[in-house]
């Protein structure tokens, strides 16, 4: 396969103005007819060959201006159709192809999911439907006519507006759809099948009525209430926060059970993985409800950030994905707790993106090259990309960021553009100095920001010495310093925020005021050099610094803030993110020190101050309960391993487990109180307060059950038996399943018996067992491959069982190599069915360099194909 480079980008020689598609859907084959009006690019080569992409499509006929193209006039290979000498533009190109969606297990292009036809065209799936210039900078107006058997496929959907429908002979019928907006072919969609809809309506800010329809099999319609609520909330939020109004009269969402990713933002016909649409209190957890809200929002927000303004090429993927993730994060924050959402997003970044940025798969937010684009839908492009967008907002303020967004839409509506265009809009709208900031797009690796602090009691000054360093990463041995926004506050001895009046930033003394001229207690410093000093003046007492408030930049912070100051921040910081972060920092230090104690064969001790800090947090009735749940949760094993020179999964697991049990026995009574006082009401409610209660109760129950005492296990069992919603039922099951034994087996079987007919719930059951740390679990997971609940062709099942297993550090990285062998075997099998899913699974091997030589050898041997 050929490596494609950003620096080689060239505009296409030809554009397509209109595309008329006709699909004759059938059981043996489907015939696709396309009629395209082709125009030249103003700077394109006249009569240059026209190159069309095509994979697994059979050419039936090829016409130019109504005439068959003769044999020598074109050539055909496995991936391309080349029209050697196109006539002068404009001209008509007509292509008929034959495809077999019923045999397409890749879930790209047109395929069948439980009997229904559906499509997935991003990134390069349209070429599996017909020959086309399958690149995002070719934007055309599409009309789509679909014909199919009426009884098998009563519902026929595509992008835009339905302009005609009717019956045909032999029990067939048709529908004609017209999309008035230009779009790249990756946003094309078609769905045909037996579906019912939940219908609703949204009135836009300018008073237009938009019909909303969510399509699923009829029996699932009752589970679409929350998805519809989420969609309406997202439409309103985008109007209120970004001034973006929906632009068509119809918005369709279809839920399908077989889908490689979460969802797809096809113009006006979003297609979703069922797990991100269907929810009822009995079958979906709070986490599922929150994910549905976020992803429905995400795909809807793409209508402006991705569809109306799209990407010039796939290197610019973060232009739409980073920006849209940022928008969905903000949406979820506004709908729930901002601090809790920020904590969850940062945890995800640290667990997944930081290790990627430090490993062999490290790549910039805007990659320089790719071989297979599908492998670049990464946490770096999405989550780090969202952090980059967030940093614009932190540097420019909310108001300035909105000005930048407005200018971006004004300049680029209906265009295919680049990350540089976004940068320019932000800079120009604010006449801002964003020098060095663009490097966030091109340099990979997580910067290490080291900060030393000192207080001068006689001068009343507080000094920060900052050093930034970006470690060498794959293909990038050296780096330039970047502009890092460092949000900071200073706490006085009573825990209050000190007023910040002026700061010397190495060049001048700046007085600090907000936009309205008021005093401030948090400021954003611009760290832009490798080494830089800042001095706050008029600081009348020795402060405790609260650094990188709200995680103002995606960096690894190293500072000299002492443990007692961290405990002080845990108790007092007004920045809730940093309050949580202080506890995590102590937790990380503690567990890692226990890891080295274990490695040296020393006895393990717990830091009592840390436990007391957690006790105060747990018992602080003025704090949000969901925040408390996060604050008393220890850093994940994967995050801890990422911080080690050579990761030691067994020691990390043992040390973390030791701390869990110590906390559980020290705070036993407090946890019992938390469980007993936070039981749910009979009626499930999706609101922050109820979710927060459940979160606190569930974390507390997990701690208690870790003790594996008759009383705490009985409590978990009672909670399981009396649970009236999935959030509490699955949490109680997970609490019980921590401890191997008969009860675990019994309750797991009971759960399966109850839910065996619900595929999404059985996925939770598979994942819970796959993720388990019980020794030798690979055998159980292998046995589950033959269980009726598993199906290798369904990505959700694979992600639950195979992906879940890779999430258990001790079992996946087991020294006997059985975990690696299991994954190696699975990847070989999956690759024949669905290469995208196989390559997502293989990424679990990408951290192999982090481990000891023995594990490295095992992983290499298996990964490199034995």
Q: Which residues are catalytic?
A: 299
Residue 265 binding ligand HT7, by CB under 6 A: yes
Instruction: Name the one residue in this structure whose structure tokens are 């009997």.
Output: 115
Residue 261 binding ligand HT7, by CB under 6 A: yes
Interhelix angle 710-722/668-677, nearest 10 degrees = 20
Cα separation, 285 vs 296, in Å, equals 16
> Do residues 396 and 408 make contact, with C-beta atoms less than 8 angstroms apart?
no
> Do residues 237 and 276 make contact, with C-beta atoms less than 8 angstroms apart?
no
> Do residues 704 and 672 make contact, with C-beta atoms less than 8 angstroms apart?
yes
Which 3 state secondary structure label does DSSP give 93? strand
Among the listed ranges 75-83, 263-271, 280-288, 840-848, the one in contact with ligand HT7 (CB under 6 A) is 263-271
**Contacting ligand HT7 within 164-203 (CB under 6 A):** none
Q: Tokens at residue 642, please? A: 């990422």
Dihedrals phi, psi of 722, to nearest 5 degrees: -100, 0
Cα angle, residue 204 at apex, residues 200 and 205 outer, rounded to 5°: 150
CB of 51 to ligand HT7, least distance (A): 22
Sequence-ordered strand ranges (E) for 179-287: 190-193, 196-203, 209-216, 250-256, 263-264, 269-273
CB of 30 to ligand HT7, least distance (A): 20
Residue 238 binding ligand HT7, by CB under 6 A: no
> Do residues 568 and 495 make contact, with C-beta atoms less than 8 angstroms apart?
yes
Count of other CB atoms within 10 angstroms of residue 463: 16
* Binding partner at 377 among Zn ion, ligand HT7, none, C-beta below 5 to 8 Å by kind: ligand HT7
Residue 13 binding ligand HT7, by CB under 6 A: no
CB of 42 to ligand HT7, least distance (A): 30
Rounded to a whole number, what is the distance in angstroms from the first to the last CA of the chain? 22
Which helix (H) or strand (E) segment is 31 a member of?
A: strand 30-40
Residue 273 binding ligand HT7, by CB under 6 A: no
CB-nearer residue toward ligand HT7: 298 or 572: 298
Site string for ligand HT7, 807-846 (x = CB under 6 A): -----------------------------x----------
CB-nearer residue toward Zn ion: 276 or 582: 276
Which 3 state secondary structure label does DSSP give 784? helix
Q: Which of 30, 96, 119, 120 binds ligand HT7 (CB under 6 A)?
A: 120
Instruction: Name the one residue in this structure whose structure tokens are 């000093």.
Output: 533
Among the listed ranges 242-250, 316-324, 391-399, 505-513, the one in contact with Zn ion (CB under 5 A) is 316-324
CB-nearer residue toward ligand HT7: 74 or 259: 259
Where do runs of H (alpha helix) occur along 375-453?
379, 385-412, 419-430, 439-442
Residue 735, C-beta contacts closer than 8 angstroms, at least 6 positions apart? 698, 701, 702, 704, 705, 716, 719
Q: Which of 377, 409, 658, 752 binds ligand HT7 (CB under 6 A)?
A: 377
CB-nearer residue toward ligand HT7: 119 or 559: 119
Among the listed ranges 231-239, 257-265, 433-441, 593-601, the one in contact with ligand HT7 (CB under 6 A) is 257-265
Q: Tokens at residue 382, please? A: 């999405």
> Do residues 774 and 740 make contact, with C-beta atoms less than 8 angstroms apart?
yes
CB-nearer residue toward ligand HT7: 470 or 842: 842
Residue 575 binding ligand HT7, by CB under 6 A: no
Q: Which of 374, 528, 575, 624 binds ligand HT7 (CB under 6 A)?
A: 374
Q: Tokens at residue 85, please? A: 């000498």
Q: Tokens at residue 371, please? A: 């071989």
Q: Tokens at residue 116, please? A: 């229904």
- Per the rule left: phi > 0, alpha: psi between -120 and 50, beta: everything else, 741 is left
**Bond before 123 cis per omega within 30 degrees:** yes
Q: Tokens at residue 548, please? A: 């990188």
- In this structure, the strands spanning 461-469 and 196-203 are unpaired
CB-nearer residue toward ligand HT7: 261 or 424: 261
> Do residues 752 and 765 make contact, with C-beta atoms less than 8 angstroms apart?
yes
CB-nearer residue toward ligand HT7: 271 or 535: 271
CB-nearer residue toward ligand HT7: 111 or 462: 111
Residue 123 binding ligand HT7, by CB under 6 A: yes
Among the listed ranges 11-19, 118-126, 408-416, 823-831, the one in contact with ligand HT7 (CB under 6 A) is 118-126
**Contacting Zn ion within 323-352 (CB under 5 A):** 324
CB-nearer residue toward ligand HT7: 118 or 618: 118
CB of 273 to ligand HT7, least distance (A): 9
CB-nearer residue toward Zn ion: 255 or 717: 255
Among the listed ranges 308-316, 318-326, 502-510, 636-644, the one in contact with Zn ion (CB under 5 A) is 318-326
Cα separation, 109 vs 55, in Å, equals 10
CB of 330 to ligand HT7, least distance (A): 16
Cα angle, residue 352 at apex, residues 803 and 332 outer, rounded to 5°: 100
Output the residue with the shortest Cβ distance to ligand HT7.
261
> Do residues 630 and 343 make contact, with C-beta atoms less than 8 angstroms apart?
yes
Give CA separation, 696 vs 74, 170, 679, 712, 737, in Å: 66, 60, 10, 16, 19
Residue 105 binding ligand HT7, by CB under 6 A: no
Q: How many residues comprise the chain?
A: 866
Residue 624 binding ligand HT7, by CB under 6 A: no
301-337 b/e with 16+ CB inside 10 Å = b? bbbbbbbbbbbbbbbbbbbbbbbbbbbbbbbbeebbb
Among the listed ranges 166-174, 314-322, 464-472, 734-742, the one in contact with Zn ion (CB under 5 A) is 314-322
Among the listed ranges 115-123, 391-399, 755-763, 819-827, the one in contact with ligand HT7 (CB under 6 A) is 115-123
Dihedrals phi, psi of 523, to nearest 5 degrees: -130, 155
Residue 299 binding ligand HT7, by CB under 6 A: yes
Residue 327 binding ligand HT7, by CB under 6 A: no
Among the listed ranges 261-269, 483-491, 506-514, 671-679, the one in contact with ligand HT7 (CB under 6 A) is 261-269
CB-nearer residue toward ligand HT7: 119 or 700: 119
* Binding partner at 383 among ligand HT7, Zn ion, none, C-beta below 5 to 8 Å by kind: none
Residue 264 binding ligand HT7, by CB under 6 A: yes
Cα separation, 582 vs 588, in Å, equals 10
CB-nearer residue toward Zn ion: 324 or 772: 324
Residue 321 binding ligand HT7, by CB under 6 A: yes
Which 3 state secondary structure label does DSSP give 16? strand
Tell me, by CB under 6 A, how many residues bind ligand HT7.
15
Contact residues for ligand HT7, defined by CB under 6 A = 120, 122-123, 260-261, 263-265, 298-299, 302, 321, 374, 377, 836
Residue ranges in contact with Zn ion by CB under 5 A: 321, 324
């Amino acid at each position: 396969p050929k490596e494609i480079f950003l620096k080689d980008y060239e505009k296409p020689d030809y554009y397509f103005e209109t595309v008329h598609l006709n699909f004759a859907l059938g059981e043996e084959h489907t015939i696709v007819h396309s009629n395209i009006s082709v125009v030249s690019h103003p700077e394109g080569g006249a009569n240059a060959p026209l190159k069309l992409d095509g994979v697994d499509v059979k050419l039936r006929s090829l016409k130019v201006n109504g005439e068959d193209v003769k044999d020598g006039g074109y050539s055909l290979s496995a991936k391309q159709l080349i029209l050697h000498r196109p006539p002068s533009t404009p001209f008509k190109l007509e292509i008929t192809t034959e495809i077999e969606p019923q045999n397409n297990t890749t879930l790209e292009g047109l395929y069948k999911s439980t009997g229904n036809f559906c499509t997935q065209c991003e990134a390069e799936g349209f070429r599996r439907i017909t020959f086309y210039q399958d690149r995002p900078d070719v934007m055309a107006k599409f009309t789509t006519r679909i014909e199919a058997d009426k009884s098998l496929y009563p519902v026929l959907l595509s992008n835009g507006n339905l302009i005609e429908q009717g019956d045909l002979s032999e029990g067939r019928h048709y529908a004609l759809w017209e999309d008035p907006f230009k779009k790249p072919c990756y946003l094309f969609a078609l769905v045909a099948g037996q579906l019912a809809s939940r219908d609703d309506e949204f009135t836009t800010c300018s008073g237009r009525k938009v019909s909303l329809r969510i399509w699923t099999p009829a029996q699932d319609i009752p589970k679409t209430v929350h998805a519809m609520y989420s969609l309406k909330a997202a439409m309103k939020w985008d109007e209120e926060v970004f001034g973006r109004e929906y632009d068509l009269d119809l918005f369709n969402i279809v839920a399908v059970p077989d889908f490689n990713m979460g969802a797809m933002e096809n113009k006006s016909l979003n297609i979703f993985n069922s797990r991100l649409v269907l929810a009822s209190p009995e079958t979906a957890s709070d986490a599922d409800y929150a994910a549905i809200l976020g992803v429905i929002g995400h795909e809807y927000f793409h209508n402006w950030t991705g569809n109306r303004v799209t990407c010039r090429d796939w290197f610019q993927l973060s232009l739409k994905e980073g920006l849209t993730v940022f928008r969905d994060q903000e949406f979820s924050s506004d709908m729930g707790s901002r601090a809790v959402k920020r904590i969850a997003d940062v945890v995800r970044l640290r667990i997944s993106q930081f290790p990627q940025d430090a490993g062999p798969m490290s790549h910039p937010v805007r990659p320089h090259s790719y071989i297979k684009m599908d492998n670049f839908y990464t946490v770096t492009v999405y989550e780090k990309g969202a952090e980059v967008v967030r940093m614009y907002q932190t540097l420019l303020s909310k108001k300035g960021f909105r000005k930048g967004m407005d200018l971006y839409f004004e300049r680029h509506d209906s265009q295919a553009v680049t990350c540089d265009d976004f940068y320019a809009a932000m800079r120009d709208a604010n006449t801002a100095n964003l020098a060095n900031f663009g490097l966030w797009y091109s340099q990979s690796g997580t910067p290490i920001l080291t900060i030393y602090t000192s207080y001068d009691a006689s001068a009343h000054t507080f000094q920060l010495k900052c050093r930034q360093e970006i470690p060498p990463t794959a293909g990038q041995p050296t780096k330039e310093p970047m502009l890092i926004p460092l949000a900071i506050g200073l706490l006085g001895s009573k825990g209050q925020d000190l007023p910040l009046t002026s700061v010397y930033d190495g060049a001048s003394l700046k007085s600090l005021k907000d936009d309205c001229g008021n005093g401030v207690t948090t400021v954003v410093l611009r760290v832009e050099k490798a080494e830089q000093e800042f001095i706050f003046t008029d600081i009348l007492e020795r402060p405790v610094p609260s650094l990188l408030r709200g995680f103002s930049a995606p960096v690894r912070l190293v500072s000299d803030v002492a443990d007692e100051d961290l405990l002080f921040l845990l108790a007092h910081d007004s920045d809730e993110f940093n309050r949580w972060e202080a506890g995590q920092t102590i937790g990380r230090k503690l567990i890692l020190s226990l890891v080295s104690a274990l490695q040296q064969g020393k006895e393990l001790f717990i830091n009592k101050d840390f436990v007391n800090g957690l006790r105060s947090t747990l018992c602080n009735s003025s704090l949000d309960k969901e925040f408390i749940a996060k604050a008393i949760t220890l850093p994940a094993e994967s995050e801890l391993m990422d911080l080690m020179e050579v990761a030691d999964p067994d020691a990390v697991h043992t040390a973390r487990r030791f701390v869990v049990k110590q906390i559980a026995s020290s705070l036993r009574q407090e946890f019992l109180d938390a469980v007993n006082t936070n039981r749910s009401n009979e009626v499930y409610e999706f609101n922050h307060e109820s979710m927060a209660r459940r979160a606190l109760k569930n974390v507390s129950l997990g701690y208690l059950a870790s003790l594996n005492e008759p009383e705490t296990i009985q409590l978990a069992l009672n909670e399981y038996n009396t649970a009236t919603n999935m959030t509490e039922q699955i949490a109680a099951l997970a609490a019980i399943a921590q401890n191997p034994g008969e009860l675990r087996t019994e309750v797991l079987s009971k759960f399966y018996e109850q839910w065996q007919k619900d595929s999404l719930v059985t996925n939770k059951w598979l994942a819970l067992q796959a993720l388990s740390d019980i020794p030798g679990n690979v055998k159980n997971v292998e046995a589950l491959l033959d269980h009726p609940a598993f199906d290798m062709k369904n990505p959700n099942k694979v992600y639950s069982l195979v992906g879940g297993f890779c999430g258990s550090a001790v079992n996946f990285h087991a020294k006997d190599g059985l975990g690696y062998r299991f994954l190696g075997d699975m990847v070989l099998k999956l690759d024949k069915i669905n290469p995208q899913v196989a390559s997502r699974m293989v990424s679990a091997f990408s951290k192999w360099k982090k481990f000891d030589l023995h594990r490295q050898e095992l992983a290499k041997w298996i990964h490199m194909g034995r």
